Amino acid sequence: MKALFEDLKKELKLRKIQLSHQRLKVLEYLTQNRSHPTVDQIFTDLHQEMSTLSKTTVYNTLRVLVEAGLVRAINIEDHETRYDINVENHGHFKCESCGRIYDFHTDLDALACDGLNNFLIKDRNVYFNGICPRCR
Amino acid sequence: MKALFEDLKKELKLRKIQLSHQRLKVLEYLTQNRSHPTVDQIFTDLHQEMSTLSKTTVYNTLRVLVEAGLVRAINIEDHETRYDINVENHGHFKCESCGRIYDFHTDLDALACDGLNNFLIKDRNVYFNGICPRCR
DNA sequence: ATAATAGTTGTAATCATTATAGATTTGCAA
DNA sequence: TTGCAAATCTATAATGATTACAACTATTAT
């Protein structure tokens, strides 16, 4: 199911998280830009139409959204965190050549993992690296 | 199979990578400290016995070892890379409470992944987050 | 309406990592 | 062995993403 802006707004209301103008804009941006943007990309784009927006606010908002479980942080790259509105079960592939990050479907719950009895698993991430078809 | 220091040395020789004193020390450290140390931990510990060691050398050495495929970089945390001498098929679990990183066995190759036809997969990482048994 | 709380902003600080340049060591040929 | 080029190491400076902070603004509750 694609996460819809209106549904996400309801979700935030339910959790008693204030729907400020800035937060809604960031959330809307993420629903419209599913290419796993960085903070800088989000900030730069939104700054065009909201000249008073602060980068700190983008950081704060993303932290709130991640904590609320509406957004997923991707650390497939060592140096810069990316954000994904899609929190469903899926993996990420990063092309070493062009840097693009692709989603792929995979069933993480089906992944057998010995040695994690009695562990409380809250979050699962699968990151692959390699070369994408366009770059081969 | 546990990676043994002597075998790793041979592997480096085969690949024509110089076995400098510093590189061997870092490699030996990793075989003896399998708790996924950070650069800072490696540097601080080795600095005790090699007072002239530079942190830059630790960074350079780790890059060489990762490129040679002898060491795996772990980016389960956003802010600091950890290093693992174990490059076999396994996943990492990070406890949100105590910060410990656990290995767990899992067969990544068996992970079905739709949408990656024609992708050249070079590396697979699985990161889980949650609470470990000690902290529950 | 007013006070208290939450959110935003801009700047400064932090901190892991990388760049750089000079010093040292190593490998190899004469 | 000697000498030289290439590789490695070291110390310091620079970079750049993220966080801390303090003042300001908006929202909520009484």
pLDDT digits (tens, 9 = 90+) for A73-83: 999 876 899 99
Across all strands, nucleotide nearest B20 (CA–C1'): D8
Per-residue pLDDT at B1 exceeds 70:
no
Q: Would you place residue A72 in the very low, low, confident or very high pLDDT band (cuts 50, 70, 90)?
A: very high
Distances, alpha carbon A61 to alpha carbons A26, A39, A86, in Å: 7, 10, 16
The reply to whether B79 Cβ lies less than 7 angstroms from strand C is: yes
Q: How confident is the model at residue A4 (pLDDT cuts 50, 70, 90)?
A: confident
End-to-end Cα separation, chain B, in angstroms: 31
> Percentage of chain A with pLDDT > 70?
99
- Between B110 and A33, name the one with better pLDDT: A33
pLDDT of amino acid A1 = 62
Strand C, nucleotides covered by protein (CB < 7 Å): 6-11, 15-20, 25-27
Higher-confidence residue of B110 and B119: namely B119
Nucleotide D10: closest residue by CA–C1': B54
Q: In which element (H, E) is residue A100 found?
A: none
A128/B124 Cβ within 8 A:
yes
How does pLDDT run across B50-80, given as a tens digit for each residue? 999 999 999 999 999 999 999 999 998 768 9
Domains of chain B: 5-84 (1.10.10.10), 90-135 (3.30.1490)
Rounded CA gap, B22 and A48, in Å? 50
Residues B82-115 as b or e (16 or more Cβ within 10 Å = b): bbbbbeeebbbbbbeeeeebbbbebebeebebee
Q: What is the 3-state secondary structure (H, E, C) of A41-80?
A: HHHHHHHHHCCCCCHHHHHHHHHHHHHCCCCEEECCCCCC
Reported confidence tier of residue A110, pLDDT bands at 50, 70, 90? confident
Q: How far apart are CA A39 and CA B91, in angstroms?
A: 28
Which residues 63-82 on B are within 7 A of strand D at the CB atom? 78-79
Chain length of chain B: 136
Q: State the pLDDT confidence band at A2, using cuts at 50, 70 and 90.
A: confident
pLDDT above 80 (res B106): yes
Q: How many whole angstroms separate alpha carbon B114 and alpha carbon A18?
A: 38
Query: How near does any CA of chain B get to the CA of A78, in Å?
Result: 6
Mean pLDDT within A22-28: 97
Quick one: how far is CA A47 from the chain centroid? Answer: 20
pLDDT in tens, A46-60: 999 999 999 999 999
User: ∠ CA A1-A42-B122 to the nearest 5 degrees?
Assistant: 65
Average pLDDT, chain A: 92
Q: What is the pLDDT of residue A40?
A: 97
| Chain A residues with CB-CB distance to B62 below 8 A | none
Q: Which helix (H) or strand (E) holds B107?
A: none
Share of chain B above pLDDT 90, in %: 71
The pLDDT mean for chain B works out to: 92
Handedness of CA A127, A135, A86, A53 (dihedral sign): positive
Q: What is the pLDDT of residues A84-97, one digit of tens each?
A: 999 888 999 999 88
Say which of B114, B118, B130 has its CB closest to residue A121.
B130
Residue B55 Cβ < 7 Å to strand D: yes
Closest residue of chain B to A109, computed from CA coordinates: B111
**CA dist list (Å): B47 to B9, B43, B54, B108:** 22, 6, 8, 37
Which residues 107-136 of chain B have a CB under 7 Å from nucleic chain D? none
